[in-house]
Structure 1
Amino acid sequence: MFFRLIDGLNELIGRVISVVAIVFAAIIIYDVFMRYAMNEPTRWAFDVTKMMYGFYFVLLGGYALRHQAHVRVDLVTEALSPAKRRIVEALGYLIFFFPFAWVFMTRSYEFAMRSYMQGETTYGSVQLPVYPLKMAMAVAAALLMLQGISEFLKLIFDYREDVPNGA
């Protein structure tokens, strides 16, 4: 039940956030059209697309982990039996993943709160607030941590599922 809840949350967020790619592509096309066809460049498009790409990139971490789309070095584990491979992967979560995810989550939250309290904005000609993107980093870190817990528990309980290839 816990696995499906966390996996479902990251699946839903991944699918919703993937639409952002279409939106920022449309904004880039609009900006190029306005710049070269109408000779009226936008002042806001670059900052908006840069921030949207940031949302897109960071919020898909949990989704990527759910679909095992992250970088792996299987040189050590490919020769191991499935039981030993699970042990090595579980140790990897304990030694590397969870400390990284914890630092990412706590530091990005502090980073976002500082940005919000200062009213931080971009430096461009249109000053957009930066804190939403920084808050997205904290949310992304929490989603990554939750997905990591789900994956770790799946290893511990030898839970196997067929992950859809919608990644």
Structure 2
Amino acid sequence: MRILLALSRLIDAINQRVGQVVMWITLIVVFISAGNAVVRKVFHTSSNAWLEVQWYMFGAMFLLTAGYTLLRNEHVRVDILASRFTQRRQIYLELFGTLFFLLPMAVVILWLSWPMFMDSYVTNEQSSNSGGLVRWPVKLLIPAGFLLLVLAGVSHLIKCVAFLMGKGPDPRDKPEEKSAEERLAEEIAQEAIAREAALRAAGGPAPVQDSTRQGTR
């Protein structure tokens, strides 16, 4: 079991690193999208190559983060019935769903998409749009994304078995970190405190406190 858990940690590390890289791709896509819009509106011109780069990156954002989403337990769960089960029965349901639904689906798509990518790679398939890009890199995203999902599914299976054997935590637990809404609320509160301190240091009037904050005090 220690070897399997070590394998699970390695798989998780790979998906974690891929997820972090895709976060930067998201930022790059924002700049490319804004640049394309500005050039089109201001200079009345456009480039199919830059438009396709944008599409390719959108594909990478969705395909390459499937395994990362499973790792973070952020995928959608429909647990109307499962929530009534005991914890161990819920883990058995996780095993069943991963073995008979997630992995078969991901393996089949991986298997079917590989020949499509190879055919595009061998023929050096080009975009049908004028000035477009080569097509095989974006088609490689499909088998690559589902390979990462298969690996994440294997890691999830290992963690489920480890939990049932009493050698690991509940694999459905999300990492203990604050949500985006909680972080935003903290930043707003810190900015308000900083403004209040700056006003006091400058000798200005103290800000008016609203009734909700006064009530909590």
Please give the root-mean-square deviation of Cα atoms over the aligned residues, in Å: 1.8
Q: Would you say 1:40 and 2:45 are equivalent positions?
A: yes
Distance 1:117 1:164 in 2: 46
Q: Are 2:82 and 1:70 aligned? A: no
TM-score, normalised relative to structure 2: 0.72
What corresponds to 1:140 in structure 2? 145
Partner Cα separation in structure 2 for residue 164 and residue 125 of structure 1: 49
Partner AA of 2:143 in structure 1: A
Post-superposition offset of 1:164: 5.3
Per-residue displacement from partner, 1:35-65 (whole Å, max 9, x unpaired)?
1122333342221111111111100111011
Partner of 2:86: 81
SS of 2:45's equivalent in the other structure is coil
* Residue 127 of structure 1, CA deviation: 2.7
Q: Match for residue 163 of structure 1? A: 175
Max Rg structure:
2
1:90 corresponding residue in structure 2: 95
Other-structure match for 2:157: 152
CA distance in 2, matches of 1:149, 1:23: 31
Higher relative CO (Cα under 8 Å, sequence separation at least 6) belongs to: 1
Residue 157 of structure 1 aligns to a residue whose secondary structure is helix
Distance 1:32 1:107 in 2: 36
Contact 2:125/2:136 (8 A) holds in 1: yes
Query: Is the counterpart of residue 30 in structure 1 residue 35 in structure 2?
Result: yes
Q: CA deviation at 1:68?
A: 1.1
Cα distance in 2 for residues equivalent to 1:9 and 1:102: 18
Amino acid paired to 1:31:
N
Unmatched runs of 5 consecutive residues or more in structure 2? 1-5, 180-217
Q: Give, in angstroms, the shift of residue 71 of structure 1.
A: 1.6
Q: Are the counterparts in 1 of residues 15 and 148 from structure 2 also a CA contact under 8 Å?
A: yes
The runs of 5 or more residues in structure 1 that have no matched partner are: none
Question: How far has the Cα of 1:98 moved from its partner?
Answer: 1.3
Q: Is the CA contact (8 Å cut-off) linking 2:29 and 2:57 kept in structure 1? A: yes
Which stretch has the larger CA shift, 36-45 or 58-67? 36-45
Q: 2:11 aligns with which of 6, 20, 25?
A: 6
1:15 Cα deviation after fit:
0.5
d(CA) in 2 for partners of 1:134, 1:60: 16
Matched residues, percent identical?
26
Per-residue deviation, 1:29: 1.0
